[in-house]
Structure 1
Amino acid sequence: MRFDLTAGLIEGRRKMIAATLFALWIASLALPAITLYDGHNQQPLLGAYVLGMGWIAMMRFQFGWLANIMLLVSLWLLIRPRPHIAALRIVAGMLAMFALHSLDLFVHPEEHGMRGAHAGYFLWLGVCLAAAMIATVFSFQTIAERHDQPV
């Protein structure tokens, strides 16, 4: 199958892509995401727990949790009939930035008590980066369609 943006592959299937990304995000919440070390015990935490308590990390200048909000906004923009192109690009950029910022937790694990990442974290990171990439590609396709030019 030839991937051609001008053929409308992403346009025709963007709702299915958004639904798939949302389902994978939900799956990442059900899987172990990180291992927390409190000095005596190592405890694996599910993605749902990290989502529920992750906002607290912003007090320590860890903004990776905000990627969840940007992910939901980008999926909402993707399913709209005529998304605002600038908003789609801004949200995609912020989504990638916040998702990649979460890698800082593993650069200095002694500061954060993190001892390892698990499947839930990697699935979450993949979904965030895929959503950012798809939103960016779709924004370029939308511009081309509005101007009747091939991408």
Structure 2
Amino acid sequence: MAAAKKKVERPREVRNSKVGRSYFVGEKLEAGIKLTGTEVKSVRAGKAQINDSFVRVEKGDKPTLYHAHIDEYAFGNENNHNPTRPRLLLLHKKQIDRLKFELEAGGQALIPTRLYFKEGLIKIEIALCKGKKLFDKREDLKRKTQMREAERFVRGRHR
């Protein structure tokens, strides 16, 4: 009999942990991302980070992802990629026009929320976000602590 293959656990997605803390998240869109071969292999290995990244719509209607860090592929040769290079996002023309309109209205930014696999392709979820002020962050923290204390109280009473 053949030996059973070990299933290697790979991360299904890479999340941006700063989004919920620093932004009010609005409309979300799914976009394709243009990557090289070694970048795809690094993302499959879970070696990607999108915490400090953002999206701009460049001249010529090209949405571009900046400051996303995808590690160099460990087994890559001299043709390995630059870890922080700008990467083009693939969207429909109508979606790009709507995003440009929203961004030109002001006060919002395009922030990637997660990078994931869908049917063998790498997709990125971007959201129109509005930055939180310091007092908004404090309010969220107060609300979280109140909810945590209420849950502790309920658990303690029913035991």
Same-fold call, TM cutoff 0.5: no
Q: TM-score, normalised by structure 2?
A: 0.23
* Structure with more strand by fraction: 2
Q: Answer with 1 or 2: which has the greater Rg.
A: 2
Higher RCO structure (Cα 8 Å, ≥6 apart): 1
Q: TM (normalized to structure 1)?
A: 0.24
